[in-house]
Amino acid sequence: MAKSKKKKKLKVEGHATHTQADTRTGLPGRIGRRIKIVFLGAGSGFTHHLLNDVLKIPGLEAVDFALVDIDKKRLGLMDKLMRRVARQSPDIECRIVSNPDRRAVLSGADYVVCCVEVSGTKCVRWDNDIPAKYGIDQCIGDTIGPGGLFKSLRTIPVWLDILQDVEELAPRAIVLNYTNPMNMMCLAAGRTSTLPVVGLCHSVQGTSHLLAQRAGVPIQEMEWECAGINHLAWFTKLEHRGKDLYPVLRRKALQDLAGKPSDPEDEWDLVRKDMMLHFGAFITESSGHLSEYVPYYRKRKDLLKKYMGPNYHGESGFYANEWPKWRKNSDPIRKEMLRGERPFTWDRSWEYASWIIEAREKDTPFRIHGNVMNRRYGAGPLISNLMHDGCVEVACMVDRSGIHPTAYGKLPPQMAALCEANMRVFDLGAQAAIERSVELAVESLLLDPLTAAVCSPAEIRAMTLEMFKAEKRYLSGYK
């Protein structure tokens, strides 16, 4: 493993609307009606930023926020903080209620935001350390591989209960999911629920800004197309005023991979740079995440040393080591905000939730990238050469009538093949959670690219059963 170095991050700011202009502050028009937004998992680090984003919508007149979290202590702390944040927008009539029982506050919701975490930090070590015994090295481990699968097995049953409650109590609501594993969460929803559900991630926005900066062009002038699956979507077009930007990015990547960084502040992210050189396009998620979705980079110590950098650039066990610290430190930080020792004034972020709400309420078309089922009723799949009963990440237009995925067409075959390999893992993983099937869970990991690159089928089965035994308390009903 490469020795960690603290490096100054590339500065990535603002919000990419991907329409005609950079509408960083908001869209034209007013929202004349009172809207209701329910936050599930309100103790999450997303909540205060997403609520702040909503309050930054120009023309918003009245909003009800309902905060839900089964951790009553964190819920109470977030309630106090959100009331402080709301007081910074005196022109908006804002009401906030908090309740650990979601059914008590779901009625009449227009939007339901899901940021739940099942089992907190208790399982994160098992998710990392048991696979490590079998030679499977993970950086994040919350979306694919053993860690991602077991997070889905814990989370999806709760998620499906949530969706049933929303169907009953708020059948007109749009559900905005931020919880990982994104693909399996949205896939399970698409197979079991009639609700409009979209999975939201910031990797498309973040990577588009990152690539504009690397190429040295203004983000507002960069033309691009991006499609695939969550954390493995491809920038198949990347141009500035009709000129292809990939030659510049390839030249810089070759320097970085040769150990002669083109920019000392951007010397890592080597997996994405290497994948771009060999597969022809840049991918949306960090090198740490990406290295887990493919069989190439984490199966030998020499490869780990060559390609992995610190933290999200591929550090072994990064999420398992850091997530408990992040969670532990979040409450003291919020208390500092309440005491006035830390600022809690934020600009509007590029998270899609508030922009979806604004576009729908103002009936102003707005483009996002969302995770949705790969189907258009009567018109074929959105990405034609990916499995039709799967979940894909594509451009979507939002207006008064909701979220409308747009057809991408055909991905280049080598890119489609990598996405398809992941989708087959997700197919069985999501179904394992829906049916609470141990055998389907084993079969899901038999297909996982990194796991299969390291372990034999017998070892994969033994590891999966060992993880079921360790996490039995959080996996009720599995047979």
* Residue 478 annotated in active site: no
Task: Please tell me the chain's helix, strand, coil percentages from 3-state DSSP, rounded to the nearest 5.
Answer: 45, 15, 40
Active-site entry in 293, 312, 319, 478: 293
Q: How many CB atoms sit inside 10 A of residue 312's CB?
A: 19
What CA–CA distances, in Å, run from 76 to 28, 49, 173, 308, 346?
35, 17, 25, 40, 21
Q: What gap in Å lies between CA 251 and CA 360, rounded to an integer?
A: 42
Where in 137-181 does DSSP place strands (E)? 174-177
Pairing of strands 232-240, 222-229: antiparallel
Burial of 383 (0-12, 13-18, 19+ CB in 10 A): buried
446 close to 465: Cβ distance less than 8 angstroms: no
Measuring CA to CA, which residue among 397, 399, 381, 378 is closest to residue 389?
A: 381
Q: What gap in Å lies between CA 164 and CA 170, rounded to an integer?
A: 10
* Residue 297 annotated in active site: no
Q: What gap in Å lies between CA 90 and CA 413, rounded to an integer?
A: 53
Contacts of 370 (CB under 8 A, 6+ apart): 198, 199, 200, 352, 393, 394, 396, 403, 405
Q: What gap in Å lies between CA 331 and CA 75, rounded to an integer?
A: 11
Q: What gap in Å lies between CA 385 and CA 44, rounded to an integer?
A: 36
User: Which DSSP letter does residue 173 get?
Assistant: P
214 close to 182: Cβ distance less than 8 angstroms: no
Active-site entry in 49, 134, 202, 404: 202
Q: What gap in Å lies between CA 140 and CA 156, rounded to an integer?
A: 19
Q: What gap in Å lies between CA 272 and CA 312, rounded to an integer?
A: 12
Catalytic residue IDs:
202, 293
